[in-house]
Structure 1
Amino acid sequence: MTNQPTLRPDCGNCFALCCTALGFTRSADFAIDKPAASACPNLANDFSCTIHQRLRPRGFRGCTVFDCFGAGQLVSQHTFGGTSWREHPESASAMFAVFKRVKQLHEMLWYLDEASQRTFDPELASAAARLAEHLATTAQGDAETVLGADVETLHGQVRNLLMEVSEEVRASYGAEDRPTPDGGLQPGADLMGADLANRSLCGADLRGSWMIGANLAGSDLAAVDLLGADLRGAKLDGADLSTCLYLTQPQVNAADGDEQTLLPPQLSRPDHWRTRN
C-alpha cells in the first residue's frame, strides 16, 4: 500500500513553489502584481521569504492564508528528486505544473481523511480509504502520471462521497428537521457581513457560502458543513468550530478569532488572532 503523504507544508524542504508557480494580482491581499511561473521579488536565494515575519503589514496577507497541503515538499523532494528549478531552469515549467496538480490531489486527501473519521458507515469509510489510496498513489507518481490524472473526475467522486458523509453527520444533529430557508443558512448562501453571533447553527449546510466579514462570535458550529465557505474576515471570537465539517487551515487563516475560539484538533490557531487581556 502506498504511504499516505504528509498533508502539512514543510517549507524548509520546498523550492518555494507557492512563491513561484502561482500568480497574484495587486489587491487587499497582495501589494503587487506577480505573474504565474515567476519568482516573487521577496524570495531569497535559499528559497526563504525575506519578509516572512512582516507579510501582513507589508501588504501580503494572501501569503499568510495560503496552504499547499504538503504538495510543495513532495514535488520538490520526491517528484523532482531534490533538484531545484534554479539548478535546472528547464525543469521549472513541469515542476510548477505538477505542484498545482498535486496541491489539488492533496487537498482532496485532506477532506477524505476527515470524511473517513467522521462517517458512521463502515462502507463509506472503506470507500473513502480506497479513493484516498488512489489519490495518494497518483500524487506520488512521476510528473507524467500526475499531469495525466483526470482531476475533474476525481473531484466529482470526492465531492459525492463528502456530501454523503455530510448528510449523515448533519442528520445526527437534527439537520433534516431544519427549515431550508433558516435565515439563509443553505449551500452557497450570501452571508457576507451577516450577524450570526451567539447562535446554535448545528447541522447547517453552508458549503460554498459567502461569509466574508460575517459575525459568528460565540456561535456553536457543530457539524456545520463549511466545505469551500469563504471565511475571509469572519469574526470567530469564542465560536466553537471543534466539530464542524471540512474546515481547512486556509479558511481559518483568513478569518479572525481569539484564544477562546475552538478549532478542530488538526488545525492551528493563526498568529494574527487576538489574545484577550
Structure 2
Amino acid sequence: MARSTMAPLVAAVDGSEGSLRALDWAVDEARLRGRRLRVVHAFTWLTSGVPAEVVQRYDLATMARRIAEEARAHALARAPELDVEAAWPEGDPGDVLLEEAERAALVVVGSRGASRLGAVFLGSVGLQLAALAPCPLVVVPHLEPRPATGRVVAGLDGSAPARAAAEWAFDEAARRRATLHAVAVYGTASHGVFVSLETPPPGPGSPEERAAEEEARRELSESLAGLRARRPEVRAESAVIAGHPAHVLTTRSRTADLVVVGSRGRGGFAGMLLGSVSQTLLTHAACPVAVLHADASEDDRALGGAGG
C-alpha cells in the first residue's frame, strides 16, 4: 500500500520515562527523514482493575491531553524545527495505534511504559502491532541512551518479510551513514518451529549441520540480491552464524544502533512474531528493533527511499 509523502512518524506515549526515550528516538528519526511527528496517547474509560470511585476523581480526557501535550513539548525542546502534533484519541491502545499505522510512515513505541497502559506495549498491544501494523514498527528499549555505534543489523532468512527488512535496513543505514551487518542464523531452529523437543540438534560438522548452513547462506543471498547495487554508498557486511535467532540478534544488538527483522520468516526466523523468539528479541534487545512486513519496502520506496 503506497503512502502519502505527507505520512507522519507516530510515537506512542504514556507519560512514562520509557515512552519518552522512545519519543526521543522518534524525534531523531523524524529529523533524519524530514517528516512531521505525531505524538499519540490513547486512553480508554475501561480502566480494568481500577476501582470506580478512583476513576471518578479524574477526568481521563484531560489527563490524556496533558500527557500528549507534554510529550509534544518534550519533542519540540529536542528539535524546535520539527513539525509536531499531539493527539489523545479515546479507545483501546492497540486499536488506536493500528488505525494510526494505516496513515503513518512509521510507528514507534517503548518497550516498557506506565502500569496498565504502557506495560502492554510488549504484551498484547506490542505483539499486535508487530504482527498487524501495515507500516514499519520500531520498539525502543527502556535502557539508558548510549553513543551511536554506526551499525545497523538485519536478521534475514530469504522470506518476503526479510526481503522487506533488508531493503529498509539498507535505506536506514544510508540515512545514518552506518555500516549494515546482514545476519542469517542456522541451527536447531532452522529445522522448523514444530520440531519435537526430543529431537537432538545436528552435531558440528554433520551433514544436517552443513545443509542448514548452506541453506542459510542461500537465503541470505536471496535477501540481499540487488540491494548492494541499489545502495552502493552503504558499506554492507554479511555473516552466517550457528545458534538461535533470538540469542544471536540480542547479542548483536549490544553493538548496534538498530536491529531490523521481518514480521514472519522461515527457517531460523520462522514464527518470529508468533512466540518466544519475538518476545525475547523485542524485550531484551539493547537497541531499537524494527519489524517489517512484506510490502513495507514498497511503501518506503513510495515515500522517497532514503529521504522518505
| TM-score, L = length of structure 1 | 0.26
| TM-score, L = length of structure 2 | 0.25
